[in-house]
Amino acid sequence: MAERTTARTTDAARPPEFEQGSELVTPVVAWYRTAARDLPWRRPDATPWAVMVSEFMLQQTPVVRVLPVYEAWLDRWPTPAALAAEPAGEAVRAWGRLGYPRRAQRLHAAASAIEEDFDGVVPDTYEDLASLPGVGEYTAGAIASFAYKKRHIVLDTNVRRVLARAVSGVEYPAPSTTPADRRIATALLPEQPADAAEWAAASMELGAVVCTARTPRCDECPVASLCTWVAAGKPAYDGPPRRGQTYEGTDRQARGRLLAVLRDTHGSVPREELEAAWTRDVAQRERALSSLLADGLVVVLDGERFALAQ
């Protein structure tokens, strides 16, 4: 797989973007060393488990919302074994309002697998990481890179946006990771594992705080003079329609309201309490409840009482 390429990239194998794109690495890393946010999962004392927890929490959730939950989580569960020893429902409860609560369920399952299959130690290889519940291509590469300083491409939305603009000259990347994304990222990857890990963090940070989706701050960008998109006059995106992030009135909001009632109650609640939590659309509420049951986040007890799954 492309994200696990560790052999030296030969001149013959380099894509045409490489010669221009390779100039990006040094200034972006230099910028990162002075401008990076001080985040707990980046500190030298962060454990591989702490890095793993951060990667699960940061999926589709901004840093400012993650920080308090992350710190409370690690205070309570500083190791995979500590989390695995408690019911999955407690992980969902502690997840609070981060959203996408199945991530909590999957993180608990991953902790259980680490305890059972890896003697309680977060594995350090891409293959072993990818075998864990809830760990896909991006997350496996990110944990291997950030926790163990391994040489892997790390392609989240922020990195793909940086590469789309700076190298490919388009405003936004494709909706999901493409072979072209992997090819460009692999070609840019520094040879030394520690350098590759730092570049992964630096390009991600650049996309998160400077090369942002809606209002890129090109005047603050360390590689604006090298950016193909800037050089082309910042042409507007003309690809497939981009999905919005509408939340108000959605099934996801309804699920969140129902789950909040269950999360804030130790024990079960009657159906009437769930009905009171979402009154604007009865059919939507029932659909949301059915999906929570189908996802294994909620269980029904004694016919008409509901609780977080344990």
- Average confidence score pLDDT of the chain: 87
- Is 55 a catalytic site residue? yes
Q: In sequence order, what are the beta bridge partners of 307?
A: 299
pLDDT tier for residue 303 given thresholds of 50, 70 and 90: confident
Question: Any residues with CB less than 8 A from the CB of 309 and at least 6 apart, and which?
Answer: 88, 89, 92, 105, 296, 297, 298, 299
pTM exceeding 0.85: no
pLDDT score, position 263 = 80
Q: Is beta strand 269-270 parallel, antiparallel or unpaired with respect to 298-301?
A: unpaired
Considering 4-8, 207-211, 291-295, the range whose residues carry the highest mean pLDDT is 207-211
Which residue ranges make up each domain of the chain? 251-308
Nearest to 51 by CA among 150, 81, 151, 43: 43
58-91 per-position pLDDT tens digit: 998 999 999 999 999 999 999 999 999 999 999 9
Alpha helices of the chain — where are they, by DSSP H?
A: 18-21, 25-35, 48-57, 63-76, 80-84, 88-95, 102-117, 126-130, 137-148, 157-163, 179-188, 193-209, 228-231, 251-263, 271-277, 282-294
In the structure encoding, which two tokens stand for residue 123, read together? 């594995």
Q: In b/e form, how buried is each residue of 24-35, taking b as 16+ CB within 10 angstroms?
A: bbebbbebbeee
Q: Decide: helix, strand or coil at residue 24.
A: helix
Top-level CATH class of 251-308? mainly alpha
Give helix 48-57 / helix 63-76 axis angle, nearest 10°.
140
Catalytic residue among 3, 17, 55, 171: 55
Query: Is there a contact between 41 and 51 (Cβ–Cβ < 8 Å)?
Result: yes
94-107 per-position pLDDT tens digit: 998 888 889 999 99
With tokens 């997840």, the residue in question is: 95
In the structure encoding, which two tokens stand for residue 57, read together? 């929490």
Q: In sequence order, what are the beta bridge partners of 156?
A: none
Residue type, 299: V
147-205 per-position pLDDT tens digit: 999 999 999 999 999 999 999 999 999 888 999 999 999 999 999 999 999 999 999 99
pLDDT tier for residue 294 given thresholds of 50, 70 and 90: confident
